[in-house]
């Protein structure tokens, strides 16, 4: 099965960039990539790494989870069948799948898959952002570095972290890893 088309992500980024009044070259300069790379991401030709995507969204004043189709509160219930979830494939072997969310409470519930060797960002480029994050490792083994401390997590392990501290997640095993993740208050 081939990964989903990344064009919707590119379209949403293009809209956010236009709203911010930035050209592709200026946005690229601000986040440390070429204007050509920004253009390729917007056209769905290239998939950004998580760290590049976070840099872009921070520069544009939008949140990563805001790039998914807006979630709405359940009234009385929202059911998404298997195959109906929005998928956000990123570079470096990481795929986000939106499982649910609630805009009123600024919540997003995701399944994140890390292929062997995949990481949320380079060791020298951890992420920092607002809100709170909670994770449950469903399969595989992940390293999670928060500030200067690294934790190795396996199936059934959970983590709560303050995303305002520098952090990154990476697959430390020899099989793909799957993580259920909640972003809150972003």
Q: What was the pLDDT predicted at 144?
A: 95
Residues 6 or more apart whose Cβ sits within 8 Å of residue 177 = 113, 114, 137, 139, 140, 141, 142, 171
Q: What was the pLDDT predicted at 122?
A: 79
Q: Mind listing the domains of the chain with CATH numbers?
A: 7-67 (1.10.260.40), 86-184 (2.60.120.10)
Q: What was the pLDDT predicted at 2?
A: 42
Q: What was the pLDDT predicted at 69?
A: 61
47, 91 contact by CB (below 8 A): yes
Peptide bond into 62 cis (omega under 30): no
Query: How far, CA to CA in Å, does 101 sit from each of 33, 128, 144, 151, 169?
Result: 31, 21, 24, 27, 22
69, 86 contact by CB (below 8 A): yes
Per-residue pLDDT of the chain (186 residues; tens, 9 = 90+): 344 455 578 888 898 899 899 999 999 999 999 999 999 989 888 888 777 888 888 888 887 766 766 555 556 777 888 888 888 888 789 999 988 877 666 788 999 999 999 998 778 878 788 888 999 999 999 999 999 899 999 999 999 999 889 999 999 999 999 999 998 876
CA atoms within a 13 Å half-sphere pointing along the CA-CB vector of 168: 17
């Amino acid at each position: 099965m081939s990964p989903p088309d990344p064009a919707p992500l590119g379209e949403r980024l293009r809209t956010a960039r236009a709203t911010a009044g930035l050209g592709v070259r200026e946005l690229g300069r601000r986040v440390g990539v070429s204007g050509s790379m920004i253009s390729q991401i917007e056209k769905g030709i290239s998939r950004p790494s998580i760290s590049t995507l976070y840099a872009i969204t921070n520069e544009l004043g939008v949140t990563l989870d805001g790039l998914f189709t807006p979630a709405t509160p359940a009234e009385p219930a929202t059911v998404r069948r298997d195959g109906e979830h929005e998928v956000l494939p990123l570079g470096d072997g990481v795929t986000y799948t939106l499982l649910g969310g609630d805009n009123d409470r600024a919540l997003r519930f995701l399944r994140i898959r890390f292929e062997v060797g995949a990481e949320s960002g380079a060791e020298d480029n951890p992420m920092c952002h607002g809100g709170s994050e909670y994770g449950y490792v469903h399969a595989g083994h992940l390293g999670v570095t928060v500030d200067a401390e690294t934790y190795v997590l396996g199936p059934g392990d959970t983590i709560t972290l303050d995303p305002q501290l520098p952090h990154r997640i990476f697959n430390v095993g020899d099989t793909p890893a799957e993580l259920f993740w909640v972003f809150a208050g972003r």
